[in-house]
């Protein structure tokens, strides 16, 4: 029969002192200083920082990180794992795909931050990264995996690294209509 392994004295010490040494403050997942609108759904383990405002009927997916001083409008969908940096401004009816990243520091770590603005009706697809200070225009679409380094005009689709305009929002809506049929 295999001999039962007893933990070493050191191992026992480490385990018993682990909690005593824990001095880190674990913040609330949803800050009591955040303002959350009506009928908002926030899924497991999403973080919402202080001074952040979330409008009515917005959904925030699991593990999304919505930092402090962010404004998100009504009827938005923020998918799981999205990172929304401090000072981001997101309009109404915006879709932010999974793992999308809105940045705010062009030369980290710097002392000066500038947020991303996403205007009403825009769609930011999965895993795209938006440079600090960039505005994504009304109803525009950022294709998955794009790196957006310049302002995006309204009503267009951009994609690629760096992202460039490829077609119009009207064309996108037509593709979606056909797909839905
Ligand atoms: C922007 C998007 C809608 C474009 O799709 P599309 O118009 O159907 O594009 P197609 O698949 O017809 O591809 C057309 C061309 O663009 C390229 N392309 C498509 N999507 C691209 C992207 N995101 N980045 C770079 N190139 C892309 C294709 O490789 C193809 O190039 P080719 O003609 O040289 O072969 C799509 O890329 C996208 O992001 N979809 C959303 C996915 C998502 O994030 N969903 C979220 C919830 S899961």
What are the average pLDDT values for consecutive 10-residue runs of the chain, which has 181 residues?
48 49 76 97 96 98 98 98 98 98 97 98 98 98 98 98 98 98 95
Res 136: pLDDT = 99
Q: What is the residue range of 126's domain? A: 28-180
Backbone angles phi, psi at 172, to 5 degrees: -60, -45
Q: From ligand 1's centre to the CA of 144, what distance in Å?
A: 7
**CATH no. for residue 118?**
2.160.10.10
Residues with CB under 6 A from ligand 1: 97, 125-126, 141, 143-146, 157, 159-160, 175
**In the chain, what is the straight-line distance between the N-terminal and C-terminal CA atoms, in Å?**
66
Residue 141 lies in a domain: yes
Res 18: pLDDT = 56
Res 20: pLDDT = 64
Residue 90 lies in a domain: yes
Q: From ligand 1's centre to the CA of 145, what distance in Å?
A: 9
Q: From ligand 1's centre to the CA of 58, what distance in Å?
A: 26
CB-based contacts of 43: which residues, under 8 Å, 6+ apart? 59, 60, 61, 62, 64, 80
Residue 81 lies in a domain: yes
Residue 13 lies in a domain: no
């Amino acid at each position: 029969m295999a001999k039962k392994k007893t933990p070493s004295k050191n191992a026992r010490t480490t385990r018993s002192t682990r909690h005593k040494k824990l001095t880190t403050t674990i913040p609330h997942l949803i800050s009591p200083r955040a303002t959350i609108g009506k009928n908002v759904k926030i899924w497991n383990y999403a973080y919402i920082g202080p001074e952040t405002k979330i409008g009515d009927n917005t959904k925030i997916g699991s593990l999304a990180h919505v930092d402090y001083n962010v404004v998100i409008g009504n009827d938005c969908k923020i998918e799981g794992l999205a990172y929304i940096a401090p000072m981001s401004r997101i309009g109404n009816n915006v879709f932010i795909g999974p793992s999308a990243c809105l940045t705010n520091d062009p030369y980290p770590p710097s002392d000066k931050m500038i947020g991303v603005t996403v205007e009403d009706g825009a769609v930011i697809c999965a895993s795209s990264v938006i440079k600090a200070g960039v505005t994504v225009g009304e109803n525009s679409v950022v294709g998955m995996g794009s790196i957006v380094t310049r302002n995006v005009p309204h009503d267009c689709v951009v994609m690629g690294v760096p992202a460039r305009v490829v077609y119009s929002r009207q064309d996108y809506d037509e593709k979606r209509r056909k797909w839905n049929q």
